Amino acid sequence: MSKESNIDMTHGEPFKLLIVYSFPILLGSLFQQLYNMVDTIIVGRFLGPDALAAVGNTGPMNFLIFGFLYGMTSGFAVITAQRFGANDMEGLKRSVAMNIILNLASGIVITILACSLTMPLLRLINTPENIIKQSFSYIFTIFAGTLTIVLYNGCTCVLRAVGDSRTPLYFLIISSILNIILDIVFIANFKLGVMGAALATVFSQGVSGILSLIWIFVKYPILIPKKQHFAGNKKFAIQHLKIGLNMGFQFSITAIGTIVLAGALNLFGSTKIAAYTAAQKVEQLVTVAAGVMGVTIANYGGQNLGAGRIDRIKEGLTKSIIISVAFSIIAAILAWVFSDQLIGLFLEQKNMTSEVWQEILEASRTYLHICSIFFPVLFVIFIYRNVLQSIGKGFWPLRNC
């Protein structure tokens, strides 16, 4: 295994380790946000506010499905981090094998369910008739490519579990650049509309997933399971599912709230949906460090639990809260002071009347100003939820969602 890219978090000063480990994840998450935002920016600027509303309208559905998948794949990899921290190489390979089995099975099931429920969900959230066809075209294409998301998430979560937080960043950068190019080609040149944005996302995500898989085979032979590591073990599967499902349901429960909100918001029409879409993208951008520190403390906690270093988990928890609160203050300042400029990334005034533009700005500004007040609470919640998951206490954060 490459020592340069691998970080053992069971030794060394926790504050420095958390910063060094989280920095590549932060950069990767920013590129992930860029990856997700490019669709919104190009759709809003090339196709106008109705198309932006159509894409934004699917955000809660997207969050429901892929938030669950991201939480679940991260949870499965907690056991992998624990085995790595305990220096149990056989257990490590068995955990990777279990990751493969569970991720593939869940990916197939969720693809079928998501595609089948796309139109009923759009109707359930009161999608306006003038955007429902575009919404369906976009999100159905995304759901059909679920396995590409599972492949990438599964590979990167395993890499991070053994301390490699840099490699996923490199492939995400490649994928983000590819997504930008394909967005422009599919929307501006091929005139595929919002479906073009979805196709660009799926294809780019698939490329990053395949590259991550190849990297594991070439650079991390220690992670490659053999036939005997796939042997059925009900207790071991339950251990993975217990953490994975808890983390997945945490995201899903939050997503259900956003779906209920979308159902109410959609009654106000496509202009308010466009404003909400742009404001939510800004919120996701400035709060990206919350999720980053959550992933960091989860892997830190998993490795140190495996090594029996409970004292280090407590110390790392304190340090991560300090870092997260600092990030939350920066995020709140950005959202409060630069709200109008950040909203302008997603929409151009020339595509609408001045009245519509002012309505969008005012609604977006109100949303961001209110949300930013609660950023410190949000960031700290991410820390506590993920550290509890990493030490096998996943039910408590799920119960309090």
For the stretch 190-228, pLDDT in tens is 999 999 999 998 999 999 999 999 999 999 999 999 999
Q: If pLDDT is split at 50, 70 and 90, which confidence band does 2 have?
A: very low
H-type alpha helices, 58-192: 59-85, 89-124, 132-144, 146-161, 167-184
- Listed residue (241, 32, 23) closest to 153, CA to CA: 32
What's the pLDDT at 386?
Answer: 84
Amino acid at 265: L
Report residue 89 CA to chain centroid gap.
29
Provide φ and ψ at 217, rounded to 5°: -65, -40
Q: How far apart are CA 346 and CA 135, in angstroms?
A: 17
Q: How far apart are CA 368 and CA 378, in angstroms?
A: 14
129 Cβ contact partners less than 8 Å away, ≥ 6 residues apart:
none
Report residue 330 CA to chain centroid gap.
21
Residue 1 has pLDDT above 50, yes or no: no
Provide the percentage of residues in the chain whose pLDDT is more than 70. 94
57 Cβ contact partners less than 8 Å away, ≥ 6 residues apart:
122, 125, 127, 131, 135, 262, 266, 273, 277
Provide φ and ψ at 394, rounded to 5°: -70, -20
Tell me if residue 94 falls in helix, strand or coil.
helix
Q: How far apart are CA 233 and CA 24, in angstroms?
A: 35
For the stretch 53-108, pLDDT in tens is 888 889 889 888 998 998 899 889 989 988 998 999 999 999 999 999 999 999 99
Average the pLDDT over each of 40-44, 82-86, 88-92, 131-135 and give the range with the smallest value.
40-44
What's the pLDDT at 79?
Answer: 92
386 Cβ contact partners less than 8 Å away, ≥ 6 residues apart:
294, 295, 297, 298, 301
Q: How many residues does the chain have?
A: 401
CB atoms within 10 A of CB 58: 28
Q: How far apart are CA 256 and CA 316, in angstroms?
A: 32
What's the pLDDT at 397?
Answer: 55
